[in-house]
Structure 1
Amino acid sequence: MHARAIAATTTALLGTAALLLPLSHARADGDRGSPTVIAHRGASAYAPENTLAAVDKAAEMDIAWVENDVQRTRDGELVVLHDDSLQRTTDAEEVFPERAPWKVKDFTAAEVARLDAGSWFSPAYAGARVPTLQQYVHRVEIHHQKLLLEVKNPELYPGIEKQTLKLLSNEGWLDQRHLADRLIVQSFSADSVRTVHQLKPGVKTGFLGTPSVADLPAYAAFVDQINPSYGSISGGYVSAVHAFTGAHGRPLEVFTWTVNDENTARLVTGYGVDGIISNKPDVVRDALPSA
């Protein structure tokens, strides 16, 4: 996720939110104590982001939730990568020097599969690959983990919501067991999240951003979570979000990002957030009070 500009100002949020009281609500994992901890792009401070190695590292740390980003290749394969370009996290520039700006949508799945997605991070991960979404959910399933899936740049990939849901269905991720507490689909695009909700109403959804309190009723019609950057929120804003009922008849939740230190983890926990997304999920977990 990018730390992009958020529309609502803190002053406006506090002014409205102070008038609203939070309702009781459960965490994404059913716990009413400490926030859920989510490994951002896997445990991405310790292994190359969005790779199977990052999923494995999160599992080693006993982190139940992992977050990822989904994009699409030229020939229609869903792959797990944050940027819409391959340049930052692979050796695409070396392997395909004439293909600038190395956009994911301009490469086939076979071409992407040739790339080294680990050496940029550390020589220890040389040879790591960009996983397909199918490979990624297989690995998450092996570890009995849970998935916070971001539909990335949906404007670049018409129909990606339907395609993603179809793949998840084919892999068994849209059964009742997964829908109950193992899958959330989110996006910075409200239209994309709304499309997911319309196509598969049983899927839990989140909007990435900090909508104004006045706009929350509109979001609540198709989302279950409001997931803002930690610097854009306050206790009053979190309380205001909790006061609204989401698409599945429960109070809206707040998963905040990207928190990587103990002090910030404790700060947002004090705000009452339901989840904390982190590159260092072990640091965040260890900073939180016991459930």
Structure 2
Amino acid sequence: MYARTSVTTAAALLGVSALLLPGTATAATSATTATTATSAAAPAARCAGPLVIAHRGASAYAPENTLPAVEAAEALGIDWVENDVQRTKDGRLVVIHDDNLVRTTDAEQVFPDRAPWKVKDFTAAEIARLDAGSWFGERWAGARVPTLEQYLRAVEANQQKLLLEIKAPELYPDIEKDILRVLRQEGWLDREHVRNKLVIQSFGADSVRAVHQGRPDITTGFLGTPPVAELPSYAAFTDQINPTHTSLTSEYVAAVHRLKGPHSKRLTVSTWTVNDAAGAVRVRDLGVDGIITNNPDVVRDAIG
């Protein structure tokens, strides 16, 4: 079982990485702190029960989808992080949830004449200028929207694992090929990563199918709650059915578990987004295999 980490202790740990940017001395200090926390927590990796997956990083404690959020999850001893990937105007992949830049950056101030500030209308260099931390709190000022390459390197440095979501694939034709190319370049398509450290998911069934066709060895997940009668058709190309927690019943989880996916293994269920102890216990008792949460420490402690 993971060593219990209080919110107060977590806050102290996370303060180390408040202004984390790639290549800084702060990153090295934070990695040392995170490694200490993880070492104390390591036995949990051997426990039975649902995986705890940090939604957009530990996004209750640091600005979502940023490198500080990755470090926050690491400081809490969380192995799995989830992110969202989109594509810029010049074809680079960046980690951000919304298809526009307004909510989580200062794009309106930096580029006042570029409404509606869609990710796909900005180059990677332009997005790199934006502050992606101040909206969450002044201590996070200066955090950036990471490229997928930067994000993968941070996760790898922490020896973490990645649930990668292809966000709004209908906006980015063939983004699946771009993602697979970057994963390959960063060393994430070798046997170890593919078997143990990587899952790719999307709300777009065609996008999940494209990943499976491009790399049949990768574990894939479909985000949503397909009707039970349609589950066999999904089992042809996905290994996971990942529904919102409000749609779950024990009967639905059991129906998913009765099927085998493209790798001849039982389909699994990771549900989202569960942020409180009672909700975590409820979905655990429904039989889910993973819980995606903004508060990974709360969920981890609740399900024991």
Length-normalised TM-score, structure 2? 0.85
Equivalence for 2:7: none
Amino acid at match of 2:263: H
Residues 1:146 and 2:198 aligned together: no
Query: Please, which of 93, 96, 121 is the counterpart of residue 78 of structure 1?
Result: 93
Q: Which residue of 2 aligns with 1:266?
A: 281
Counterparts of 1:218 and 1:31, CA distance in 2: 33
1:184-238: per-residue Cα shift (whole Å, max 9, x none)?
A: 0000000000000000001000000000110000000000000000000111110
Return closer, same or farther for 1:124/1:32 CA change in 2, 3 Å cut-off. Answer: closer
Give ranges in structure 1 of 5+ residues lacking alignment: 1-28
| Alpha-carbon offset, residue 33 of structure 1 | 1.8
- The match for 1:111 is 126
Q: What number of residue pairs does the alignment pair up?
A: 261
Instruction: Please report how far the alpha carbon of residue 247 of structure 1 lies from its aligned counterpart in structure 2 after TM superposition.
Output: 1.2
- Does residue 124 in structure 1 map to residue 139 in structure 2? yes
| 1:159 paired residue number | 174
Aligned AA (1:265)? A
Letter of the structure 1 residue corresponding to residue 91 of structure 2: G
Distance of 1:163 and 1:127 partners within structure 2: 28
| Counterpart check, 1:192 vs 2:212 | no
Give the match for residue 26 of structure 1. Answer: none
Could you say which structure has the greater relative contact order, defined with CA pairs below 8 angstroms and 6 or more residues apart? 1
Q: Separation in 1 of the partners of 2:150 and 2:285?
A: 37
Amino acid aligned to 1:269:
R
Separation (CA, whole Å) in 2 of partners of 1:176 and 1:70: 23
1: CA distance between counterparts of 2:221 and 2:47?
A: 19
What SS does the aligned partner of 2:162 have?
Answer: strand
SS at match of 1:44: coil
* One of 88, 109, 119 as aligned partner of 1:94: 109
Partner of 2:269: helix, strand, or coil?
strand
User: Identity of paired residues, percent?
Assistant: 65
CA RMSD for the aligned pairs?
1.1
1:181 CA displacement: 1.1
Q: In the alignment, does 2:237 pair up with 1:222?
A: yes
Q: CA–CA distance in 2 between the matches of 1:65 and 1:247?
A: 23
Match of 2:219 among 198, 201, 204: 204
1:174 and 2:192 matched = no
In structure 2, what is the Cα distance between the partners aligned to 1:247 and 1:95?
46
Alignment of 1:41-60 (within 5 A): 41-60=56-75
| Structure 2 residue aligned with 1:285 | 300
Partner of 1:277, secondary structure, is: strand
Letter matched to residue 258 of structure 1: T
Residue ranges of structure 2 left out of the alignment (5+ in a row): 1-43
Q: Partner letter of residue 264 of structure 1?
A: G
Instruction: Please list the CA deviations of residues 21-74 of structure 1 after superposition, one character each: whole Å capped at 9, or x if unmatched.
Output: xxxxxxxx9867210000000000000000000000000001000000000000
Structure 1 stretches of 4+ with a deviation exceeding 6 A read none
d(CA) in 1 for partners of 2:153 and 2:303? 30
1:180 CA drift (Å)? 0.9
Q: Which residue of 1 aligns with 2:262?
A: 247
Q: Deviations over 1:241-263 (max 9, x none)?
A: 00000111100000000000000
Query: TM-score, structure 1 length as denominator?
Result: 0.88
Can you list the C-alpha shifts for 1:109-132, whole angstroms capped at 9, x where unaligned? 000000000000010000100000
